[in-house]
Amino acid sequence: MRPYTCDPMSSPLSSTGASFGEIDSILQEALQELGLASSAASLEAWRTRFLGSNGKLKSLMGGLKSAPKDDKRELGQRLNDLKEKLESAFEVQRTSVNATSGTPLVDLTEPGITTGEGRRHILSRTVDEIIDVFGRMGFTVADGPEVEDEWHNFTALNIPQGHPARDASDNFYMGDSVGVKRLLRTQTSTVQIRAMESQQPPLKVVAVGRVYRPDTHDATHFSMFHQIEGLCVDRNLSLVDLKTALLQFAHAYFGADAEVRMRPSFFPFTEPSAEVDMKMHIKGQLQWVEIGGCGMVDPNVLEAVGLDPEQWSGYAFGLGVERIAMRRYGITDIRWLFENDARFLRQF
């Protein structure tokens, strides 16, 4: 084994590898030059020369491989020490140049700090967009409570006592309040009644809000969701007016090539009644999507709010907001809309 030399300056070293002497002379040279660096550019040039990926420190470190085995450990420590000294001297000089030049030495290529910008929930945005379209079509916005009485949720909508829709297993009943049975509304059609009670026809309103049903949660069911309700009451309205309104909406919201299809159905508060499908672009293809129900307001409903069905007629529709948003944005599980996982919501 080669005897260890205690004077590092004079240790015998390979000509290409790192040596103690070399380390010291580079430290001296570097500190001297650093003292002269008085601008951002000269600091950067210094950094590249000594600390850069092709700089002197790197090449010394590269030389460690070919240094004598017995020196390796200490050389390694000395190189680390050199690195720390150079880095801290650089920071000191940079701060002082910075302070005296008044120009902050900002690295413009550094990625910035993002502020985690918030955004509106995809459902809120969908609701706003839909309301905006109906607003341009002359509909005003009506409102009603989520905790309803039986009169607005059922009776006035032509859903009599004993009707299966009133079943306890299909509703969230909340107990009586001053003798009135209350429940979480199961449909925004309640707002039709409230609008007709508070405004005289002709009227043209849309209402949007939450509705509640005791459904088991799965990819397409949730115990709370949103509906958009539309109601128009005027003289001599017909199915043509209803279909025209839906078609206008479809064109404005889904695009000029959207279509509307009505399939005969039954709702207690409309006669005739239909399911509404809209043809919209889904993943680049036009597809039919069922989005709600509609019909001509049943004469019993007009009578319930004191309007003469001989004089007044109405059309109504109720559309599912989640359904529209899910199909439009390719969301395949309704639960994601309510879990509030920012990673999901951030995509929209």
* Interacting residues with ligand DAH (CB under 6 A): 187, 189, 229, 267, 270, 273, 292-295, 316-318
Shortest CB 316 distance to ligand DAH, Å: 3
Distance in Å, CB of 297 to ligand DAH, minimum: 7
Which tokens sit at 47? 């950094």
Task: Considering the complex, state which of residue 4 and residue 173 has its C-beta at the smaller distance from ligand DAH.
Answer: 173
In order, the DSSP letters of 128-158 are HHHHHHHHHTTPEE----SEEEHHHHTGGGT
Cβ pair 186, 212 in contact under 8 A: yes
Using an 8 Å Cβ cutoff, are 49 and 104 in contact?
Answer: no
Q: Return d(Cα 210, Cα 224) in angstroms, integer.
A: 6
Q: Measured from the CB of residue 136, what is the shortest distance to ligand DAH in angstroms?
A: 20
| CB 119, min distance to ligand DAH, A | 29
Residue among 19 and 270 whose Cβ is closer to ligand DAH: 270
Contact 257/146 with Cβ under 8 angstroms?
A: no
Residue 63 or 320 having the CB closest to ligand DAH? 320
Q: Which residues contact 321 (CB under 8 A, 6 or more apart)?
A: 123, 126, 127, 130, 208, 225, 226, 227, 228
What one-letter code names the amino acid at 327? R
Cβ distance to ligand DAH smaller for residue 17 or 292: 292
Is 86 within 8 Å of 50 (Cβ atoms)? yes
Give whichever of 50 and 317 is closer to ligand DAH, judged by the CB atom: 317
**CB of 307 vs ligand DAH, minimal distance in Å:** 16
Shortest distance (Å) from residue 226 CB to ligand DAH = 11
Which phi and psi angles does 69 have, rounded to 5°?
Answer: -50, -45
78 vs 226, beta carbon nearer ligand DAH: 226
